[in-house]
Amino acid sequence: MESETHEDDDRRIFELDPTSDPWETGNFVPPPPDLPEESTSWYPADLIDSHESVRTNQRWPLIVGAFLAALIGGLVAIGGVALFASLGGEETVEATPTTAPPTTVIERIRTEIVRQEVPAETAEAVAKKVVPSIVTVHVGNLVEGECQRFGSGSGVVLDDTGRIATNHHVVEDSDCQEVTFQDGRIYGAVLLGSDPLTDLAVIETEAAGLVPVELGTSADLNIGQITVAIGNPLGQAGGASLTVGVLSAVNREVFFGQGEAQLFGMLQTDAPITQGSSGGALVDIDGRLIGITSAIGVSTSGAEGIGYAIPVELVRRVTTEIIETGSVVHAFLGIEGADYFEERPDGARAPAGAMVSSVVEDTTAAELGLIDGDVIIRLDDQVIVTMEDLVISLRLYRAGQAVEFTVLRDGEPFTATAMLGERPENP
């Protein structure tokens, strides 16, 4: 079958085999919906939206040339008629109208993704500052005194004495750990402690001359800010790699499945995070740590470009306790509850606190005198809008710390202070 020839307004000629299926190549876009049925064609996307500057420069010569050609052709036609008349021809020749072929009109639609770009020199500066603080964490089982590796993750240097933060799920079920630094040095490591509730762990090496990461804050972050993820995906030789994205959301809840701990208050980013990057750093544009990368969002069709990081405030609290005591004891209030919604004047229902539905005996909540129906609206200076807010705030406290609660009872506020108890193993 003969091929069909099409011409776009760039005067670029390309031929298509009508027997081929354009969907198989992935390089075609459908025509506008208002095309006549008989003129339906497929157009390569790269011809529709490429080389704009070339088209702009070439268009004027083409237009001028077309105009001159039309003008000369008209003069020639007029001269021909005059010559025919001067030769005495009496027969009048009328032009026979012809049906012009249907014209395919291509409307150029430009799609622009508006996004804050990171200058190359800025990303390079972040890499120079942070990459020396990133390590590869190898995990394995001891076999005849040797560490037989079965997996790897990433880690972040916390101080110059060799303490490194990583994820609990990286070191879980391992007998031994080893650390590879960016310069290729490999050290054995000791697990100081691990906390499944927050998915954090601390290991220690005897390496010297380390570069600790600079701690930042996640409290004043804004959605859309540049974020940089640095870890070692897939445990590749050569050390850390860097990806750039934005802060997509805050205070995300991550649920791993039945029987697994839920993570609260997570930072969400679209900076690519892949297997092996767990335990790496999420930093701001100044190279300050804002989170430890921990999880990615996956659907039935695969990874969705959604990554999660544990906020640095929780990292600081948990790793400090592990370094000091070797374990983590979480605070416990002793209530069950749900989000409290208030009615707004315009008829909307809005979350406005954490409402108590039951109180566990001999706990902080019982000491405070909380009863069913009370609504917790503040924890010290932290405003509580949802039950998740309450959980996130409580995880930043240690057991034994005194906390002031602001509570609504029958619409009237009151304050009370109590010491937080220890979270039981199976609350």
- What is the C-alpha to C-alpha distance for residues 331 and 316, in angstroms, rounded to an integer? 16
H or E segment to which residue 392 belongs: helix 387-394
Residue type, 359: V
Q: Which pair of structure tokens corresponds to residue 9?
A: 């307004």
3-class DSSP assignment, residue 412: strand
User: CB of 355 within 8 A of CB of 384?
Assistant: no
Instruction: For 205-246, give the secondary structure using H, E and C.
Output: CCCCCCCCCEECCCCCCCCCCEEEEEECHHHCCCCCEEEEEE
Angle 143-326-360 (CA atoms, 0-180°, nearest 5)?
A: 120
* Catalytic positions: 169, 199, 278
The rounded distance, in Å, linking the Cα atoms of 382 and 389 is 9
Cα torsion through 420, 424, 425, 427, rounded to 10 = -110
Phi, psi of 129 (to 5 degrees): -80, -40
The number of beta carbons lying within 10 Å of the beta carbon of residue 136 is 25
